[in-house]
Amino acid sequence: MSEFLHDFFDMPSDLQHSWIGLVGLHLREALLPVAAGLLLALPIAQLCIRFRWLYPPVLGVTTVLYAVPSLAFFVVLINYTGQTELTVMIPLAVYSLVVLVPAIVDGVRSVPQETLSAATAMGFGPVRRYFQVQLPIAVPAIIAGLRVATVSSISLVSVGMLIGNQGALGNLLHDAQIYNRPELTWNSVITTALLAILVDALLVLVRVLLTPWMPSGSAGRRQAPALKDAAR
């Protein structure tokens, strides 16, 4: 058993990382793109809210980009960014848009008209209103989107393995094959899944902390948009 555990966590030297190191790498490669995606999605979503006609085309474009397989993305990007983490992270950031933009748009749009009117009537300017009223109220929807984006980003990083050891925990999959060590495959799958679940749980916690104003009883119902995003 302990031998198995030893094998399980014994990383081949070509990965140049310990298991913990791979986990850290995996998180970085998965989370940075989502963070970047969020930064990008906020202004895009704001534009879509401002100019309603923009929303359908933006949705269309993000959906088509989303349909492009990650590997193809990687290969094309190698031309520009080389065989680096960046190559893996750019598509992931792009993918996160397909979830985050609608999450933010729907979240901000779901702010009740009365609340907006009240804010305007109190003399809130558009900017202040956006940051102090609309955005905070959209937080649950945004975090719901972040959960989906993050989980799928964590899952997708593995594919980076195909472009030469850029898949963090995914690299284990290849090494498992060339060294005939199937336990590494298990390690990769389980660790990745656990990471995803853990980060997801953390985001739920963040949501709870950030939104003491949400009726806890209806938390399940408020999840509705979140779950719908899961569908994307």
Q: Which of residues 28-57 bind other proteins (CB under 8 A)?
A: none
Long-range contacts of 174-183 (CB under 8 A, 24+ apart): 175/12, 175/14, 175/15, 179/12, 181/7, 181/12, 183/4, 183/7, 183/8
Q: Give every CB contact of residue 193 below 8 A, 6+ residues apart in sequence.
A: none
* 20 is an interface residue for other proteins by CB under 8 A: no
* 162 is an interface residue for other proteins by CB under 8 A: yes
Which one, of 152, 157, 149, lies nearest residue 86 by Cα?
Answer: 157
163-222 binders of other proteins (CB under 8 A) = 163-165, 169-171, 173-182, 185-186, 188-189, 192-197, 200, 211-215, 220
* 18 is an interface residue for other proteins by CB under 8 A: no
55-94 binders of other proteins (CB under 8 A) = 63-64, 66-69, 71-73, 75-76, 78-84
Residue 74 amino acid letter:
F
Min dist CB 204 to other proteins, Å, is: 9
Joined together, the tokens standing for residue 107 give: 């979240």
Q: How many residues bind other proteins (CB under 8 A)?
A: 93
Report the distance separating Cα 169 and Cα 181, nearest Å.
14
- With CB under 8 A as the contact rule, the residue among 8, 9, 12, 47 that binds other proteins is 12
Min dist CB 37 to other proteins, Å, is: 17
